[in-house]
Structures are given as C-alpha cells and as structure tokens.
Amino acid sequence: MAKQTISDVDVASKKVLMRVDFNVPLDGDQKITDDRRIEMALPTIKSVIDRGGKLILMSHLGRPKGEVKSEMSLGPAAQRLGELLGSVVHFASDTVGPDATAKVEALADGEVLVLENLRFDEREKKGDEAFASQLAAFADIYCNNAFGTCHREHASMFGVPKAMGAKPKVVGALVEKEIKYLSGVISAPERPFVAILGGAKVSDKIKVIENLLGVCDHVLIGGAMAYTFSLANGGKVGDSLVEKDKVELAKELMAKGGDKLVLPVDTHCGDAFNDANCNKQIVAAGEIQDGWEGFDIGPESAKKFAEIIKSAKTVVWNGPMGVFECAPFAEGTKTVAQAIADSDSVSIIGGGDSAAAIGQLGFEDSVTHVSTGGGASLEMLEGKTFASVEVLDDQK
C-alpha cells in the first residue's frame, strides 16, 4: 500500500487540493474546544505552503445532512488554522460556488484557502461525480490527509482523485503514517504480537477478532463484550451488557482462538451504572449475580494482561477495558495503558475511546502511534483495503 506522498511532488506555484479532517468540536459560541485535528494536519499543510504551493483545504464538520447550518461552519477552523500558522488563511463561504471559485483563482503562492463544509452539499456523501469533478477542477495536485474518512467513498475522498486523471494524487503525512502502522506493521509484525480489544459489543469487532486471531500470538478481550464470551462459557453475567444473539458466534471465536484468545478471570462490578458511589465488588469471571453489572476487568485480569503485554514486541489496542470515564471502573484500562507505555513494543492505539484514554492518562508520548480514525482504523485492522487510498498514485 506504499503511496506517493506530498513530499514526493513539486508543489511550487501549483494548486494543491487537500482533504483534511477538521471535524473539530465546537461549543455553543462557535469556539473550538479541541483543536488537535487541526494541529495534527500542520506538518502536511506547511510542507505545501513552505514550498510555494497554493493550498486549498476541504473538510466536513458534523452531520448537516446536505443543509447549510451556520453552527457547523468551517469558519472557526479556518480562523484557528490562521492563528496556528501565524498568517492569513482565506475562507470561502461555499465549496464549488462563485465565492470558492473566485478565491481559488486569487490564491497566491504560499497562501491557504479553506472551503466551506463539504457536507453542506448532499452530493458529498453520495459520492456524486459532477460535484467531485467541480472540486477536482480547482487543482493541479490532490492530497488525502484525512484518515478518519478513508473508509468512506465520498466525493472528496474517492470521486475527486478519480476525476483528477493523470494529475498527481498523493497522501499526506497523517495518512502515510496510518498506513505504515495499521497496515504495514500488522502485515509483518515483530513477535510476540498482542492485540487488546475492548468496548461494548462483540458485533463491532467480529471481523477484527477473526482477522487478528489469524495473525496474533495473543488476543486479549476486555470491556463489556467480554460478558458475551462469559455467557457463551455458561457463566452468570447478572445485569451486564451482553449480546445474547452473538453467543454462538462467541463460542465459534473461542473454538477458533483456543489459547490465543485470552478472557478476563475476574470482574469489577457495581450495582448502579456509571455511579462512583454505587456498591462495588470483585467477583470471578462468570460469577456476576443478578442486580450487579460488570463495569471493568478485575485486578487479576489486569495483572494477567499486563504480563502478556510486557513480553510483546508489537501491540495493537482498540477499545477500553471498562467504563474508564467513571473513576472506580478505570483501573483495568489504566493498567493496560501503563503496561503498553512501559513496554518496548511497537504500540499502535486505535482511534476513538482508546485514543481518548491514552490522552487522558498522559501516555501519548510513550506509545508509537495513536490513530486519528476510529471507524477507519477498525476497518484496517479487519484487513480491508480502502478505495479512497487505492485510487492514489503508488510509490515509484
């Protein structure tokens, strides 16, 4: 999957159309509450403008469903980008309309223009070819730097590079890094290779579990989905979150995984969901009584998981071990995160809650790679290829 990168092409005086992920959270006053996605795009943005390219940025924000909604405008993101760059960033009030067209034409070398929210136009999510062609007409070079939407065949992700014809179509630094770790490292891991999978539902991770059982030395299961496996083992799960319709599937996965599939041996329970003051107890796995709910792996499980992680040379983690946002039930996730941070392994953290946990615990600088895409990272862990990446130019 090695693709041409933005640094491989000459951008001087060329118009570069770059898909970024500026889907940042905004408060009621249109203030950005977390600008990490903008900051993470800066190296690729600077690579273009520092070499004299004319940069046109496009992104989505929120779910406006094809309607113009002022509270989902990319204006605040454009303003914040200007502050981070210390230079003027132009903003177009539309995507392919007269304002965007005029401002693209007026761009000087080294300048940046942000187009309005792609999803204000319903044709973006539909992958509309005409819309994609209008966007493609703006540019001499296309750059995909939005890994979080790489699993989507939207107009800006797939239609635009397809419409670019023989013009250069490359990846930015973020997508290059994601491919390197999520695809490259996993396809030829240094062993022992350990995967840690958590979260609520087995159904969300079926394909990931199946794929990783084929390549990992150990697959550790935590989070609420462990209770579905516990039920499949004939255990008592009390009021825990389970997927009864996935019990047979859990049995199949346990049979396929054998000793590779490592389940919790104890559980930290509470009698009220997400309440720090609820009654708590630790019981053996499969011994949760009615009126009690499993909210975290127990201390023995955490210790067992940490020992396995300690010997690993490659670690992939996707999904917390429990309700980590509620202090009494964060210990399992903390122990696993600490073990990963302390290990000498190549450590890859899937997006979403795992990335949030690593960030909250202050371990971001102690792991090898934190993915920027939740759904996209999961699909890559399943072994899927993305049409939006396949369409880009291969390394020569």
- Domain ranges in the chain are 6-174, 182-381
Task: Say yes or no to pLDDT of 386 above 80.
Answer: yes
Average pLDDT over residues 198-213: 86
Burial class (CB in 10 A: 0-12, 13-18, 19+), 287: middle
Q: How confident is the model at residue 381 (pLDDT cuts 50, 70, 90)?
A: confident
Q: Over 70: is that where the pLDDT of 1 sits?
A: no
More confident residue, 377 or 10: 10
Q: How many CB atoms lie within 10 A of CB 247?
A: 17
Question: Residue type for 109, please?
Answer: D
6 in Cβ contact with 173 (< 8 Å): yes
> Is the model's pLDDT at 100 over the cut of 80?
yes
**pLDDT higher at 205 or 109:** 109
Compute the distance between CA of residue 200 and CA of residue 178 in angstroms, rounded to an integer: 24
HSE toward the beta carbon, residue 20, CA cutoff 13 A: 31
pLDDT above 90 covers a percentage of the chain that reads 80
Are 6-174 and 182-381 in the same CATH fold?
Answer: yes
Q: Is the pLDDT of residue 303 over 90?
A: yes
What average pLDDT is seen over the chain? 93
**Is residue 173's pLDDT more than 80?**
yes
The architecture of the domain spanning 182-381 is 3-Layer(aba) Sandwich (3.40)
Helix (H, G, I), strand (E, B) or coil at 195: strand
| Enclosing H/E stretch for 315 | strand 314-318
Region of residue 9 (phi > 0: left; psi between -120 and 50: alpha; otherwise: beta)? beta
The conformational region for residue 30 under phi > 0 = left, psi -120 to 50 = alpha, else beta, is: left
How would residue 203 be classed by pLDDT, with cut points 50, 70 and 90? confident
Between CA 332 and CA 173 the distance in angstroms is 33
Asked if 209 and 219 touch (Cβ cutoff 8 Å), the reply is: yes
Active site residues: 37, 201, 352, 375
Task: Give yes or no for residue 159 having a pLDDT over 70.
Answer: yes
Has residue 274 got a pLDDT over 70? Answer: no
Local confidence band at 383 (pLDDT 50, 70, 90 cut-offs): confident
Mean pLDDT of 151-162: 96
Confidence of residue 373 (pLDDT cuts 50, 70, 90): confident
With CA atoms as reference, report the closest residue to 299 among 323, 254, 258, 267: 267
Rounded CA separation 277/279 (Å): 7
Averaged pLDDT, 131-152: 96
Q: Supply the pTM of this predicted model.
A: 0.86
pLDDT confidence bin for 158, thresholds 50/70/90 = very high
Alpha-carbon distance values, 132 to 62, 69, 126, 156, 185 (Å): 20, 21, 10, 6, 33
Predicted confidence (pLDDT) per residue in 24-72, tens digit: 999 989 999 989 899 999 999 999 999 999 999 999 999 999 999 999 9
Residue 351, pLDDT score? 66
pLDDT for 275 beyond 80: no
Stretch 303-323: mean pLDDT: 95
Pairing of strands 169-171, 141-144: parallel
Contact 141/114 with Cβ under 8 angstroms?
Answer: no
Give the pLDDT of residue 395: 92
Statement: residue 252 has pLDDT above 70: yes
CATH class belonging to 6-174: alpha beta
Band (pLDDT 50/70/90 cuts) for residue 112 is very high
- Choose from 170-174, 347-351, 372-376 the range with maximum mean pLDDT: 170-174
Quick one: pLDDT at residue 355? Answer: 84
Cα separations (Å) of 142 from 153, 158, 162, 391? 15, 11, 10, 11
pLDDT at site 380: 81
- In whole angstroms, how far apart are CA 122 and each of 64, 77, 162, 339? 9, 21, 19, 45
- pLDDT of residue 140 exceeding 90: yes
- Provide the CA 40 distance to its chain's centre, in angstroms: 13
Name the band, by pLDDT with cuts 50, 70 and 90, for residue 296: very high
Work out the average pLDDT over 344-368. Answer: 88
